[in-house]
Amino acid sequence: MNTEPPPPPPPRLSPATGPESDPRAIHARAIVNGISDRSLYNNLITLYSKSNHSSYSLPLFTQIPKPNVVSWTALIATQSDTFLSLRHFISMLRHPTLPNQRTLASLFRTCAAVSSLSFGLALHSLSIRLSLSSQPFSGSALVHFYSKSRLPLDARKVFDEIRDRDEVCYAALVVGLAQNSRPIDALAAFYEMISSEVRSTMYSVSGALRSAAELAALEQCRMVHAHAMVTGLDTNAVVGSALIDAYGKAGFVSDARRVFDENLRINIVGWNAMMAAYAQQGDNDSIIKLFTSMEAQGLRPDDYSFLAILSSLSNAGLDIESERWFTRMIEDYKLKPGLEHYTCVVGAFSRAGRLCDAEKIANTMPFVPDAAVWRALLSGCAYHGEADMAWTMAKRLIELNPNDDSAYVIVANVLSSAGRWEEVSEVRKMMKNRRVKKEVGRSWIEVRGKVHEFLAGDHLHEMRDDIYKKLTELMEEIEKFGYVPVWDEMLHEVGEEEKRKSLWSHSEKLALAFGIISGAFPPGKAIRIVKNLRICRDCHEAFKFISKVLDREIIVRDVNRYHRFFNGTCTCGGVW
């Protein structure tokens, strides 16, 4: 636990002298009574920094005749989100005054806020020399700093060196791992915290739920939910919103709605999370009803509310509806659309076949188009077989990121479908010269509360022989019903048998085969898989056949959307 005592409280005032919440009243009384006690001034600096009168902090600090480490720490904390905090620290060292762990904690938060990795590394070195890096205050802030710097492994190393880890330390680690897309590690840290009998907080619980949401792991959601209920955190607005988001991303909208209806403290974030859950399922009617109810409750929609609506309409290719809601956002609600809102409209127009209109929006919007915009157009061109325009969009995407493997793969497949083999060869040559390799596919499946991860071509799982045996049986069976492999044009130069092996060992197929042989999915229970990339055309085609042959519902959440396969069809309608 954090054992360093807090600074003494400021002197209390009687009601007659002014409101106790205003530090100016305390300051005025001290002046009148001739009090210049350093501890009082230290507390006043902190109080001013927490009020709307932070500009008083520095002039007050200069009046302290011999500022100590507490004085400097209070001053540094007043500017904890700016570089000025670091300048104050340099001045402190020149006096000289050495920092304590509270000083370093504030400075690490500053380095995280201003993205100063070099200064943070120097501070870490200093904290080691002063034997402060393993203290809970500075250690938890250091974990947060490395996490915000996208260095989760370093964050974990720091955490492992902290003595007397408390709830703040664990929360920093769980949230940091979750934010860095290490959901399995984040959940492991959360359960480690519980087994260590460390009290959970709304931050550690919401971080665990964020990880469960990324994995679409229903059982993990329910376990964390149960823990939140036992600890009384389930009624917290932050935790409630995280629960809605987690159940929604796991595909269980009814569970998300139950949490939403039972939590009386849900704020606009929770409402938006509920609408986003409906959006992922393409349930446009429920989104609109919820939007109307939100307004009836007196809540004003924000840009995230409209993002949920527009993303759902975009996935459905409802261009006219998208245009109408986009206009309402600007004219009726006086909200300024962001790049994500324009991307949704571009996607809706592209899916509807209005490719020229979509390109016009991309070229005239008040933002520089990013990769998501051009990828939306590229996907639309691919769906409608517009090879020339697909080439143009792919080149724009490649200009932004020459290593974007999806751009090469999609345009190569479009060109091959049009029989333009010379240009297909050109795409393959570009990939080879730039040493672009397809990102490794990863898929996750939750079986009896444990998340199993598969890579493309994976042979590491303990049941690998049974998995590949079942997969061979499935693929041979669906071939009898008319399944024909959909070759990836990037496999053009290899033999047919090698192509078959490559397609059969895709991560989502391995996860599916494992789910079937695990016995954890009896008839009537959908098999749920999460993938880190866009599901490929062959897996999409194969899953349609498998769902019909097995008479099973298969749900795949890829990087773009949910796919529900049943009786030989998919809810995406072939657009993803």
Closest CA to 490 of 552, 544, 441: 441
Residue 48 has pLDDT above 90, yes or no: no
pLDDT digits (tens, 9 = 90+) for 454-512: 998 888 899 999 999 999 999 999 999 999 887 665 555 555 666 677 788 899 999 99
pLDDT at 209: 96
406 is in which domain, residue-wise? 370-439
Domain identity same for 428 and 552 = no
Domain identity same for 431 and 457 = no
Considering only residues 264 and 309, tell me which one the structure prediction assigns the higher pLDDT. 309
pLDDT digits (tens, 9 = 90+) for 334-389: 999 999 999 999 999 999 999 999 999 999 999 999 999 999 999 999 989 999 99
Domain identity same for 410 and 474 = no
pLDDT digits (tens, 9 = 90+) for 77-131: 888 888 989 999 999 999 889 999 999 999 999 999 999 999 999 999 999 999 9
**Domain endpoint, select from 164, 184, 207:** 164
Total domains present in the chain = 3
CATH of the domain at 420: 1.25.40.10
pLDDT digits (tens, 9 = 90+) for 315-336: 888 999 999 999 999 999 999 9
Domain identity same for 157 and 31 = yes
pLDDT at 34: 60
pLDDT at 503: 81
Indicate the range of 56-65, 152-161, 393-402, 507-516 predicted with least confidence. 56-65
pLDDT at 437: 82
Considering only residues 119 and 537, tell me which one the structure prediction assigns the higher pLDDT. 119
Residue 14 has pLDDT above 80, yes or no: no
Q: Residue 234 domain-assigned?
A: no
Residues 6+ apart with CB under 8 A from 449: 219, 220, 223
Q: Residue 505 domain-assigned?
A: yes
pLDDT digits (tens, 9 = 90+) for 53-81: 667 777 878 888 788 899 999 889 888 88
pLDDT at 251: 85
Domain identity same for 416 and 463 = no
Q: Residue 169 domain-assigned?
A: no
Question: What's the mean pLDDT in 552-557?
Answer: 92
Q: How far apart are CA 97 and CA 103, in angstroms?
A: 11
**Domain endpoint, select from 410, 439, 468:** 439
Q: Residue 202 domain-assigned?
A: no
Domain identity same for 117 and 86 = yes
Domain identity same for 478 and 543 = yes
Indicate the range of 25-34, 91-100, 303-312, 552-561 predicted with least confidence. 25-34
Domain identity same for 516 and 428 = no
Q: How far apart are CA 217 and CA 221, in angstroms?
A: 6
Q: What is the mean pLDDT of the chain?
A: 88
pLDDT at 31: 64
Strands 554-557 and 527-531: parallel
Residue 517 has pLDDT above 50, yes or no: yes
Tell me the pLDDT band of 6, cut-offs 50, 70 and 90.
very low
Q: Residue 185 domain-assigned?
A: no
Domain identity same for 409 and 511 = no
pLDDT at 536: 87
Q: Residue 361 domain-assigned?
A: no
Q: How far apart are CA 263 and CA 257, in angstroms?
A: 10
Domain identity same for 452 and 519 = yes
pLDDT at 2: 43
DSSP H or E segment with residue 334: none
pLDDT at 490: 52
Can you state the angle between helices 339-351 and 355-364, rounded to 10 degrees? 160
Tell me the pLDDT band of 30, cut-offs 50, 70 and 90.
low
pLDDT at 63: 80
Q: How far apart are CA 310 and CA 329, in angstroms?
A: 10
**Domain endpoint, select from 390, 418, 439:** 439
- The dihedral through the CA atoms of 232, 235, 241, 247 has a sign that is positive
pLDDT digits (tens, 9 = 90+) for 214-266: 988 889 999 999 999 999 999 999 999 999 999 999 888 999 999 999 988 88
Q: What is the value of pTM for the model shown? A: 0.81
Q: Residue 261 domain-assigned?
A: no
Q: Residue 354 domain-assigned?
A: no
| Count of alpha carbons within 13 angstroms of residue 38, beta-carbon side | 9
pLDDT at 45: 78
Residues 282, 219, 546: CA angle, nearest 5 degrees: 55
